[in-house]
Structure formats: C-alpha cells, structure tokens
Structure 1
Amino acid sequence: MAQAWRCSGLRWSADGPVLAWDGGRRSALTWGKRVAFGVVEGGVRTCVGARGHACPLGAAVPGRSTGARCEECSRLDRAHSVAADTLADDPRPYRVYLAWFGPGMTKVGITAVRRGGARLLEQGAVCFTWLGSGPLMAARRTEELLRAALRVPDRIPYAAKRAARAALPATRGERAAEIAGLHARAVALSGWPESLAPAPFEPVDHVEVFGLAGAPAAVGEVRELVAGGVVSGELVAAAGPDLHLLTGRGSVVLDTRLLAGWGLVPAAGRESAVPVKALKERPAAQDGLF
C-alpha cells in the first residue's frame, strides 16, 4: 500500500498556491496541473490538534467540518487568536483593510503588517485596499467603527464567495468601484483612533493571481471526503482555500480545508468520486449597500 500523506492546507506563496503536507513537504500548484489523490480505504478523519500540538484524544471529526478539530482543540485554537481579542497587548503593528468578493459583498478586517497581503489571498479576496495601520487595539476599534457606521460586515461565508466568483465584473475598475466608494466614506468618518495612520486608496486585484480570468464557471463543490473516495481534476483556478478543478462533471470547487485529518494516497488515472453538490446561487443582495 502506498504511503499515506496528511495535508495541512493550502498556502499562498509569492509564486502562487501550494499544498502543504505534514512533515514540511510542499506541492506547488500551477494552472493545468492534474490534481489527483484518494482517501485511504477504511480511513477515519481525525482531529488535527491545535497550536502545533496533537489532539490528546485522537478524536474523530465529521467529514464536512472545515476546521477538522474536535470541540476542545477548536476552543484552544481560538483562545490564542487575534479574532478572539485575547492578544490585546500584542506590540506588532496591524493594518485595517476593505476586501471585495463580488458585487454587494465587501468586508472589513485586520491583519498583521508583517504578513503583507497574505491574509487577503487566504480569504479569497478578489480585490482589496488598505485603510490604515497602527496598534492592534486601534485597528480593532477602526474595524468596529466601520461595521457600525457603514454597515460593513467582518465575515462573509465561503459559500457566498464561491457563488460570486461565477459572475465577476470584467474590468479592474468595475471590481474596485465598491471599495473605492467605501474607502472615501471610511476616511471621512469622525472617531478614527489617533494612533491609526490612514492609507490612500490603492486597490489590489487578484483575478489574474487566482487564475479566474477565462476560467470556466464552477458548477458544483465537494461536500465532503469519504474513506475510499477520489478527487481528480485539472487545476484551472484557486482562490482562498479553494481549488477549482475541471472534472467530468464540469468545474468543481474543492475546499482544501476538507482534506485535513484524512490519510491521502496517489490516485493517478482514477476518476473523481466524492460527494458533490450544486454550487449555491448567490443570496439576494442585502438592504442598503450590504
């Protein structure tokens, strides 16, 4: 039997998307590359642990879970995250950003300055701009200000992002229009923390980086992996944690977070055979701007 590998996720490098594996191995992904692997027969998906520590229980986790962690490990992982507001004394500088995923679909967020734009690639942002930079709590207060004053959310479901990619505006200008207007309104607000330095509007577009220009619209998404299942297809695009694979069913999206916790083996020459569901239509636009 072939050696089983465990995937630790999709990473974005300067050269594009890369699949990372436990043990440090990495697989560069290029458009047109055949992606094919099988799930170990009789295998069980197990918790990936948290903060570099293995799950003490080796707990089984559901196939549809994108976190691949049991309840206890999920709690530990979140307790040490910026999103949980438990790192108020973090001395590193942070940036506030506006990220656009499709028409009527913009969010505000923060990321450490040292990470550059990596966080936006990981989220699958089609277009983004910086709003300002400063200490963590100043960035967090600015994020809250925009949520309250401009009704900009700080989270957008991945399912909505996937659906939006099927019908993006054709030009960079069209894709940047919404965040241009929001940027102007945001910097004009009163109540900005004095320690946060505003940034000029400089949109960054990821359509080419993600390979979405000219890629076939996705018609379905992998619901979950199963023991003995196979994923196989030609890589035509990637955004955030998602791979867009051209299969016999058309272009299908694979959320690579579903890979974690499974033992995977090569499956060259085999057809894709995992549960796939139709890609959800975009939800109706919210009232007002969002």
Structure 2
Amino acid sequence: MAQAWKCSGLRWAADGPVLTWIGGRRSAPARGERVAFAVAEGGVRTCVGARGHACPVRAGVPGRSVGARCEECARLDRAHSVAADTLADDPRPYRVYLAWFGPGLTKVGITACERGSARLLEQGAVCFSWLGHGPLMAARRTEELLRAALGVPDRIPYAHKRAVRTGLPGSEAERAAEIAELHARAVGLGGWPDSLTPEPFRSVDHAGVFGIEGVDRGPAVVGEVAELVAGGAIGGGLVAAAGPDLHLATERGVVVLDTRLMTGWELVSVEGAPCAVPVRELRRAAEVQDGLF
C-alpha cells in the first residue's frame, strides 16, 4: 500500500513554489514536471489545527474550505495574527506595499521586512512596489491612511485574483502603470507617521516567476478544481504557479488547483492519474466586475 502524506501548504522560495508536507518533507515542482496524487480511499478531511498544534477533536472540515480548520482552530489561529491586529507589540520592522493582481485590482498591505517578497508571492501579486518601512503600528496606520485616501482595499478575494489573471497586459511597463500612479499619489499625501520611512517607486514583476507571461497566448484554462474527494485523483504537467495555485495540463485541458484544498487530506502518489475530481468552469474577469467596482 502506498504511503499517505498530508500536505501543509504551498510556500514560495526565491526560485519557485515549494509544497510542504507534515513531517518536514518538501517538494519543489518545476514547470514541465508532472504533479499527480490521489486522495486515500475512504478518507475524511480533518482540521489541520492551529499554530502548530493538532486539532484536539480531529474535526471534519468541508472539502471546499480553503482554510481546512474547524471554527475553534480558526479562531485560535487568528488570535495572534498581525492581520487581526492582535500583535501590536511586535518589535519587528514592517514594510507597506502596493500589490497589483490585474487591471483595476490593486491592494495596500503590510509584511514583516524579514519576509522579503514572500508574502507577495503567496498572495499571487503579479507586480508590486514597496511604499515605506518602519515599526508595526506605523505601518498599520499608513496602510489605513492609504486605504482610505486612495480608495484601495487591504483584502481581495482570491477568486477575483484568479479571474483577472487570464487577461493580463503583455508588458511589465503596462502592468506597473497602475501602481506607479498610486505610489505617486501616496507619497504626496500628508499624515504619514514620522517613524515610517518612505521608499521610492520600484516595480517588481512576478509574471515570469509565476510562468504566466503571455498567459492569454498559452494553453487556455478550462476550469478550476472545486474540491478534492475521497478516492479522487488529479495529475498533469505543471505549466504555471501563482500564489497557492498550480496550473496543471490534464487530459481535460489546463485545470487550476488551489493547493489549500489539499490540506487535511491523506494523499498518495500516483503515476498516470486522470483528472477525477470535481472541476468547475473558471470565472473570467468580466464575471467578477460587479463585485470589484
């Protein structure tokens, strides 16, 4: 019987995506390589726990949940989260950034300086620019100032990011134009905290890293995995990766797999696995505009 593994998520290193597994195993799929696995027969998806601790009741979680946590573990996971404003005394320096995911889809955010651009890669930011750096609360106040003054959000649903990714402008300059304009407006605002040091505009483009350069001219994405199911399998050649998503060339066409759907399941390696999991049609940019504007 094949050994079963539990995925703990997709991380980004300087040279590309890395799948991490409970127990310390890591695998770094390269573009062109085949990614294939099956969910154990009779398996049940269980809560992944919180902050390095297993769920005490091994609660079951829905197949379509990208968090893979029960209600109690989700609460505990956010209890010491920068995003939830519960770490006001964090002594680490932070950076404020503008991130662009597609036409009309830009957000402001913060990340610890020590993380570099990892947060932007994990979010699937196609390009970004730093705005400034300083203590956590100064970075947070600046984020709120810019969110209100520039009319940009600090959170964007991932489905929206995925939807606009299929129609990106072809050049780095075109992709950077929107954040360049917002950066210029941001540095011209008053009210920045004195302890927040502004940074000059410099666009960092991830289209090449993700493998989505000219994505509209490559193989068309035909759908996205809706959920994994016990006994189901998927296999395909990796054509692109962005944020938590793997774009796999299957016998049904290119299918997007959100790797967050893998967590909580027992998975086994398979060779010629067909795409035998529920797949839904991928939403396109035009279909999410009402939710964006």
**Interval containing the TM-score (normalised by the shorter chain):** over 0.9
TM-score in terms of structure 1 length:
0.97
Aligned counterparts of 1:116 and 1:276: Cα–Cα separation in 2: 34
Report the CA distance between 1:285 and its aligned residue. Answer: 6.5
Distance verdict in 2 for CA 1:80–1:27, change over 3 Å: same
Q: Percent identity?
A: 75
Matched, 1:3 2:3: yes
Aligned counterparts of 1:218 and 1:105: Cα–Cα separation in 2: 20
Unaligned 5+ segments in structure 1 are none
Aligned counterparts of 1:188 and 1:160: Cα–Cα separation in 2: 29
Report the CA distance between 1:269 and its aligned residue. Answer: 1.1
Matched, 1:274 2:293: no
Equivalent residue number for residue 90 of structure 2: 90
Q: Contact 2:252/2:275 (CA < 8 Å) preserved in 1?
A: no
Render the CA deviation track for 1:188-241: whole Å, top value 9, x for unaligned: 011111100000000000000001124424221100000000011110000000
Q: What's the Cα RMSD here?
A: 1.1
Letter in 1 for 2:103: P
SS of match in other structure, 2:4? coil
Q: Contact 1:46/1:68 (CA < 8 Å) preserved in 2?
A: yes
Moved more, 247-256 or 111-120: 247-256
Aligned counterparts of 1:250 and 1:233: Cα–Cα separation in 2: 9
Q: Contact 1:104/1:285 (CA < 8 Å) preserved in 2?
A: no
Alignment: residue pair count: 288
Equivalent residue number for residue 284 of structure 1: 289
Equivalent residue number for residue 73 of structure 1: 73
Render the CA deviation track for 1:129-164: whole Å, top value 9, x for unaligned: 000000000000011001111111011111111111
TM-score in terms of structure 2 length:
0.96
Render the CA deviation track for 1:270-290: whole Å, top value 9, x for unaligned: 211000000012222678xx6
Equivalent residue number for residue 148 of structure 2: 148
Equivalent residue number for residue 173 of structure 2: 173
Equivalent residue number for residue 124 of structure 1: 124
SS of match in other structure, 2:8? strand
Aligned counterparts of 2:43 and 2:291: Cα–Cα separation in 1: 42
Equivalent residue number for residue 32 of structure 2: 32
Unaligned 5+ segments in structure 2 are none
